[in-house]
Amino acid sequence: MTEDFSADITAQAADARAAFDSGVSRPISWRVERLKAVQQMLTERGDEFAAALQQDLGKHPSEAWLTEIGFVTAEITHTLKNLQRWLAPERASVPVSLQPANARIIREPLGVVLIIAPWNYPVQLLLAPMVGALAAGNTVVVKPSELAPATSAAMQRWIPQYLDGAVFVVQGGVEETTTLLGERFDHIFYTGNGTVGRIVMRAAAENLTPVTLELGGKSPVYVDDSADLPATAMRLAWGKFLNAGQTCVAPDYVLASRTVVAELARLLPEAIGRLYGTNPRSSKEYGRIVNDKHFQRLTGLLDAADVVTGGEHDAASRYLAPTVVRADSGSALMQEEIFGPVLPLVEIDGTDAAIKFINRRDKPLALYVFTARAKTKAKFAEQTSSGALCFGIPAAHLLVPGLPFGGVGASGMGGYHGRFSIETFSHRKAVLDKPLRPDTMRLVYPPFSALKNLI
Ligand code: NAD
């Protein structure tokens, strides 16, 4: 952005508006071409995005592929395969009193969509909603996170080249985003923390703009004594320490009985060793904390912690070892989303107590249960509320294209992925078409005295 960034931002929003108003984005053919252009960008520039992710987060290229670049590619493939069907008008039945008539629902684009992305999966969380917004026929303004500067710069470099006239990039931090939120959009899609989520929603209210808020919070895990504990430990270590724990759906803490906590305290260090070796610091597979502020916050949380394994850290490289601690519900680690590679094990006395513990807190983005008991699964499904509920695996629900992704309550509102993105980024327009003759409506025209004879 230049010094006069606000004029630039206004110009970007105006260009996106003019592009939408021209009608160019409405034909399905335009949408398909844009999705293919995103795919091409990821094929031709994928290595540059992966390098940017390595620079911003120390992300291994294979992890970048699995969770970011390949993820978006799969989302596009799934969308291209189904788009025609998702956009087909839906028939609605017409009551006898209104027949003959034809009723249908058509999905129309909303207009200009603003997407504000966070730093932790800066490719996936910018491009996946953008794919949905384009597929629904909108033009888009994207705002990458300033906290992942290399990725933000790559977006600024490549998006205008591949998606000219369809997607407009605004870079910057709080000041620029505040200016951007002063513009009028037809939908705002925000991913990040709840404090900024409230700011976004307040700004959106000025123009009665609908919002999708993809927020975070603490995603709990419950493990009972019927679970295969060595396998559970592996899955937990994988889901927790991916991206150095900076994942919105990472297991935040584990609730389990005293004996299961003792077993996990033994098995988790082994699992970490299998994933990252005896010295994770030298593992290319293990990421780094995004910035000094988050590094200080996380190491501060460890000050009074009862460390089971890990805890080693190095400020210069922002390395924090995969760490497991024992904690109780009053500890600092249990107050806010950890968003880093620290996993507290908290003792709890049985399933009912675990459900109570979870229900007393904000509704989580994801809830993970490890049990072999069908009854326990049913109990969690019926008695808890969360964006997602997964048995036996953390975080992988994102990889199922037929599932909506989003939170509930404090973890967010609205959802996306696949056909749910089409729902989010379109208006379901009700269309009724009734021939003027025969004039069956004459039965309900005043004077209503004639009606008396009929009812
Ligand atoms: P962040 O700091 O990158 O902020 C997200 C976006 O908000 C950025 O583009 C930033 O520029 C903008 N922003 C920051 N302050 C602002 C302000 N005052 N006014 C307007 N815009 C502002 O990311 P973050 O919030 O630290 O992200 C981490 C949080 O996001 C965690 O809570 C995590 O759980 C959550 N998250 C949720 C999802 C999801 O899909 N539900 C995904 C990833 C992260």
Nearest residue CA, atom 1 of ligand 1?
118
Q: Identify the pLDDT of residue 331.
A: 94
The residues annotated as belonging to the active site are 214, 248
Backbone φ and ψ for 24, nearest 5 degrees, come out as: -60, -30
Residues 17-35: what's their mean pLDDT? Answer: 98
Q: Identify the pLDDT of residue 319.
A: 98
Nearest residue CA, atom 30 of ligand 1?
192
CA of 147 to the centre of ligand 1 (A): 10
Query: What pTM was estimated for this model as a whole?
Result: 0.95
Nearest residue CA, atom 3 of ligand 1?
118
Amino acid, res. 424: T
C-alpha span between 168 and 133 (Å, rounded):
13
Is the CB of 146 inside a 6 Å radius of any atom of ligand 1?
A: yes
Q: Identify the pLDDT of residue 3.
A: 54
CA of 346 to the centre of ligand 1 (A): 28
Q: What is the pLDDT of residues 264-274, one digit of tens each?
A: 999 999 999 99
Q: At a CB cut-off of 8 Å and minimum separation 6, what does 36 contact? A: 76, 80
Length of the chain: 455
The tokens for 23 are 């009608």
Mutation pick for ligand 1 pocket among 130, 176, 196, 215 (CB with most ligand atoms within 8 Å): 196
Q: What is the pLDDT of residues 299-334, one digit of tens each?
A: 999 998 999 999 999 999 999 999 999 999 999 999
Q: What angle do CA 232, 236, 237 make, to 5 degrees?
A: 120
ipTM, two decimals, is 0.95
The percent of residues in the chain predicted with pLDDT above 90, rounded, is 95
CA of 301 to the centre of ligand 1 (A): 21
C-alpha span between 59 and 62 (Å, rounded):
8
Is the CB of 23 inside a 6 Å radius of any atom of ligand 1?
A: no
Is the CB of 247 inside a 6 Å radius of any atom of ligand 1?
A: no
Report DSSP state, residue 226: T
CA of 227 to the centre of ligand 1 (A): 35
Is the CB of 203 inside a 6 Å radius of any atom of ligand 1?
A: no
Q: Identify the pLDDT of residue 4.
A: 79
